[in-house]
Amino acid sequence: MDISSKAGMMDLTSRLQDAQLRQGAENAAGLSQRSRKLDKGGDAAAVKAGKEADLMKACQDFESVFISYLFERMRAAGPQSSLDSGLDHEIFTSMSDQETSKQMSRAGGLGLSKVIYDQMKKQL
């Protein structure tokens, strides 16, 4: 694989990770907007439940990005074979890792989202 292909893949991976981080930030922004709307009207239990659900989603999104990054770094550290070369393989692997990391996070993952949630829940 030539350098331009690797650079292109690194750029694509970086853009995908940036998009995931922006999505997490947008989820967090949406959390604050929805909580302000709920605070204006509605019972306190519904407001708190909505805030907690949104916070858990944001924590899971963060854990998903973290797991995806771990996958990427582990692949880069391991030996490379001729079967693993090619831009198409790298793109597929990156997308597969991202989806796997989302599923792992939703299923409990590394437990990072739970720890972050427990800490941030105190501030709601």
Q: Answer yes or no: is pLDDT of 5 > 70.
A: no
Query: Which among 76, 73, 66 has a CA at the least distance from the CA of 100?
Result: 66
As a three-state string, the secondary structure of 97-116 is: HHHHHHHHHHCCCCCHHHHH
13: its two tokens: 């991976």
Collapsing DSSP to helix, strand or coil, 117 comes out as helix
Identify the residue with better confidence: 112 or 42: 112
Q: Answer yes or no: is pLDDT of 53 > 90.
A: yes
| 55: confidence class by pLDDT, cuts 50, 70, 90 | very high
| 8: confidence class by pLDDT, cuts 50, 70, 90 | low
Identify the H or E element spanning 124: none
Query: Which among 97, 110, 20, 29 has a CA at the least distance from the CA of 65?
Result: 20
Q: How many CB atoms lie within 10 A of CB 37?
A: 12
Give the DSSP letter string of 33-78. Answer: HHHHHHHHSS-HHHHHHHHHHHHHHHHHHHHHHHHHHHHHHHHHHS
pLDDT digit string, tens, across residues 24-49: 666 666 655 655 555 565 677 888 88
Q: Answer yes or no: is pLDDT of 85 > 70.
A: yes
